Amino acid sequence: MVKLIFETTALNDMVEEETNNERIIPNLLKMKHEYLFKTIGKDGKFSLDLKCLFLVLTLIIPCLITISLTDTLPDTLIVYFSRGWGHLVATLFIGIFVWFLIKFIGKIDEKIRHVNQIIAPPKKEKPTQKGYKKWKTWEEKIETYTKCARVRGVASPRWYYSSAILGAFCGFVLSMLQIGPEHGWVLGNFYREWYLRAWYVFLGFFVGACLHYIFGAFWIIRTYCDDVVSEEEILPLDPDRTGGLRELGRLSLDLDLIVALPSVAFPIALLLYKQHEYLGGKITNVEVSIVLSVIYALFLVFVFFVSISPAHDDMVAAKTNYLLKIHSEYKDMHEEFLGKLDTKKRIESKEYDVLSGLYKLYDRVESMAVWPLDFRTTLRFAITSGAPLISVAITISLPF
């Protein structure tokens, strides 16, 4: 029985290793000594939705327990939901953000392989075959990129925990600065105060871990555009009108959406300020929130375009090169047409068809985008990058 278990385990390890070898980038949800995202993102009995719900409940239940330690439970619950709703929303947001982040991480390799299949040259396995050298160069580029992604710390637990622990320390410092006996729903209760401090520490750890994944994904996309995509691989006649790189642009947009999710903090903060003013306080940080929302929107533009910017120059070069080839072909046809017109020779209808086809070919290449973005991706990006500004504008315009 023990022997059977060991054989089964070894077989599973071999299958997993084979699967990983087929990947272009390492599985970021299977880092060694990382347990939070690995556990939530692992396929098993419970779905990702339920696991995110469990995470939220794990953070909320201790809060409810600390509230129940007081004698006036109904009153303290009313205080929590009236004055501590920001904490409740933030905890729910953690679960939502984990869901989006894990979904995004899970499809990075699939998207990269999708682009690979489109722009890769025809596979040639024999040196005698035409195009073998080009295929071999492509294979070497992919192999170099894959090795680079594995050794540069993208899936390194050392960098992961460095970022997470630094975030936890920042969360602790923030809790010491923000939380006091009269803070919000704490109201001088020792247990609530230290629960909230622990929650801040976890929030810092969580933010640091998420930043590791986000910057890792940013590096993966940018490095792929820089090291793998080149002018030779761009396909100006590809039906997606982006040279075959549409999925790369959509992957960058998905990353931008992940980065944009925390912008919900701006309307929440402004609502808290408005609530504070309604209760008799004085608002002092509205201007700061507005300025930060503008900076955040600019940061979203930076993340989106910088991640795919190396592909832009290659797309411009490929498009220009194809247009020059069409111009050269047109010159030859133009001289031939003029020669026949000068000698009053008849121009055949087939020659007119060739010229018409050349015009259509030119229009097709000219319509190719020089960024890996189609109309749908561009529209979604405009909405995503404008989300912080839109949410702040709506919140400020509220009558209360």
Specify the amino acid at residue 388.
P
Among 183, 201, 228, which residue terminates a domain? Answer: 228
pLDDT tens for the chain, residues 1 to 400 = 434 333 333 334 333 443 445 788 888 888 888 888 988 988 888 899 999 999 999 998 888 888 777 656 666 677 777 777 778 888 999 999 999 999 999 899 999 999 888 888 888 878 778 888 888 888 888 988 888 877 666 777 888 999 999 999 999 998 888 777 666 677 677 788 888 889 999 999 999 999 999 999 999 999 999 888 888 888 888 888 888 898 898 999 899 889 888 877 767 666 666 555 554 544 455 666 677 778 888 888 888 889 999 999 899 999 999 899 888 888 888 777 777 766 766 667 777 788 888 888 888 889 888 888 888 888 888 887 777 777 667 666 655 4
Question: Position of tokens 């719900």?
Answer: 53
Is there a domain that residue 233 lies in?
no
Residues 291, 164, single domain; the answer is no
Residues 123, 258, single domain; the answer is no
Contact 164, 205 (CB under 8 A): yes
Residues 191, 328, single domain; the answer is no
Residues 330, 194, single domain; the answer is no
Is there a domain that residue 12 lies in?
no
Residues 211, 287, single domain; the answer is no
Is there a domain that residue 53 lies in?
yes
Residues 291, 353, single domain; the answer is yes
Residues 187, 294, single domain; the answer is no
Is there a domain that residue 13 lies in?
no
Residues 254, 312, single domain; the answer is yes
Is there a domain that residue 107 lies in?
yes
Is there a domain that residue 191 lies in?
yes
Query: What b-and-e string marks burial along 327-362, b requiring 16 or more CB atoms within 10 Å of the CB?
Result: eeebeeeeeeeeeeeeeeeeeeeeeeeebeeeeebb
Query: How far apart are the C-alpha atoms of 220 and 203, rounded to whole Å?
Result: 26
Residues 146, 118, single domain; the answer is yes
Residues 163, 193, single domain; the answer is yes
Among 228, 262, 280, which residue terminates a domain? Answer: 228
Segments forming the whole domain that contains residue 293: 245-400
Structure tokens at 47: 């779905």
Count structural domains, the chain: 2
pTM of the model: 0.81
